Amino acid sequence: MVERYVMSIDQGTTSTRCILFDHRGRLVSVAQREHQQHFPRPGWVEHDAVEIWRNLGRVVPEALAGVGVGRDEITAIGIANQRETTVLWDRRTGTPLGKAIVWQDTRTAALVEDLRNHPGDDFFLERCCLPPSTYFSAPRIRWLFDHVEGLERRARDGEVLFGTIETWLIWNLTGGTAGGLHITDVTNASRTMLMNIRTLDWDEALLEFFGVPRVMLPEIRPSSQRYGEARSVLPGVPITAALGDQQAALFGQTCFAPGEAKCTYGTGSFLLQNTGTAVVRSRNGLLTTVAYKIADQPAAYALEGPIAVTGSLVQWFRDRLGLISSAPEIETLARTVEDNGGCYIVPAFSGLFAPHWRSDARGVIVGLTSYITKGHLARAVLEATGWQTREVVDAMNADSSLALKELKVDGGMTSDNLLMQFLADVLDVPVVRPLVAETVSLGAAYAAGLAAGYWPDLEVLRRNWHRAAQWLPDMDPAQRESEYDNWQRAVERSLGWIKPPNRP
């Protein structure tokens, strides 16, 4: 019997990967290509969408060659993607109208500040459950309309298409200018500030407010559903899933029940908790998002707490301060001391994300004395990730009746045992890491395989999940709360550092 596989395309912020998985959810082949990061002005971050599309065309045959199979052995394709990144392109030529504006880009800060003042957060929260932020796509579309002459008119005339990265890739894979599918899935649409979180359709009031014509928007589909067949790269292979990368990680960690949660620890970190079919509107600084939608089943929702700086703080410690020569060395250095020596680092390099959402915050180091060594600083760097996670978990527990009982983790930072133990200590719950670390790619593969009948149901996927490591809480409760109080006082000192323009 010929072995068949599911292909996952993981289009991330720094690279595009193609991974093949087998029936047991095991990674059998991987290929990866990085793409260039463009920083034309301070705060601007851009990608070349054509470069990303070309890289996809390179990594797919490399992954097939890695296991010696052809496209006939691929059952289905699933796509996971960096969320919120905005691509506009010409419907007739397929040419992007400028570089893609990346989710990290802050050029819309002034517009977002205006939105928070008028019409105010509630106007948006009632419809899309997202507060105004530079993070999301709609302000970028409005910014482009305001700064590129003739673009809004062309969009209204039906000449311009909008999409996040999965939309761009699916359109090109399925024919592009020759009838390519212009679609997105509910998880990505829920990050635009244009989709109604309850109806799962574009919201007329939001479209009117931002001045975005519906004709430029993709059709919203379930996350797991047969969309169509590829006509290039892998001709004839069905595309059956698309999810934003963090929702894909939730799916890959098999967090299918309300209350189950995962946190992905990378450059930044993203903690998502499944809230079932209930739309839980956060009152404590979290985002309400669509977790996934399988075919005609009701959508599952999630609370999300994005943390801007975690792994990148270790990179800063390495590259800017030069106190370590490689990221893994930080654990060794941190273990040279017993504690942080009273030192705390709040890494608000460009403001704070959840649960504070303060763009006026900047990074601080507090508690410095002549006693502090680089070992104490190293420990404070790692502990910053733990305390930021604690803030998000406290917000989730306050928003939802589903108190966190266990945290599933993935991402590069989970190889740091000291950090993982600290997480368990400050959260006071077990922290577990799965055997398959590529949870984003695995989630896209699982969703695609379900739609294609490669896997019959969610229970089979649960049985594929295996624990690789576990950390149990082992900190005195009084110490935990005392140090958390210190952390919160440190956060207070990071706030209000940046003054609004034209204010003395």
Alpha-carbon distance of 150 to 94, in angstroms, equals 18
Residue 194 pLDDT class (50, 70, 90 cuts)? very high
What lies within 8 Å, CB to CB, of 96 at 6+ separation is: 48, 49, 50, 87, 88, 89, 90
Q: Work out the mean pLDDT of the chain and round it to a whole number.
A: 94
Residue 106 pLDDT class (50, 70, 90 cuts)? confident
| C-alpha neighbours within 13 Å on the C-beta side of residue 388 | 31
- State the pLDDT at residue 74: 96
pLDDT tens digits, one per residue of 393-410: 999 999 988 889 999 999
Does the structure show a pLDDT above 80 at 2? Answer: no
Residue 156 pLDDT class (50, 70, 90 cuts)? very high
Residue 104 pLDDT class (50, 70, 90 cuts)? confident
Task: Count the Cβ atoms, other than its own, within 10 Å of residue 405.
Answer: 10
**Segment 358-381 mean pLDDT:** 94
- State the pLDDT at residue 1: 55
Candidates 241, 199, 197; CA nearest to 222 is 241
- State the pLDDT at residue 248: 97
Residue 504 pLDDT class (50, 70, 90 cuts)? very low
- State the pLDDT at residue 109: 86
- Ranges assigned E (strand) in 120-260: 160-163, 183-185, 219-221, 224-229, 238-244
**Segment 447-470 mean pLDDT:** 95
Residue 501 pLDDT class (50, 70, 90 cuts)? low
CA-to-CA separations, 291 to 185, 258, 299, 415, 431, in angstroms, rounded: 11, 11, 7, 26, 21
Q: Are 393 and 431 in contact (CB under 8 A)?
A: no
**Segment 457-480 mean pLDDT:** 95
What lies within 8 Å, CB to CB, of 195 at 6+ separation is: 128, 186, 189, 201, 202, 203, 206, 220
Candidates 272, 270, 263; CA nearest to 301 is 272
**Segment 171-199 mean pLDDT:** 97
pLDDT tens digits, one per residue of 203-222: 999 999 999 999 999 999 99
**Segment 147-160 mean pLDDT:** 96
pLDDT tens digits, one per residue of 299-331: 999 999 999 889 989 999 999 899 999 999 999
Does the structure show a pLDDT above 60 at 503? Answer: no
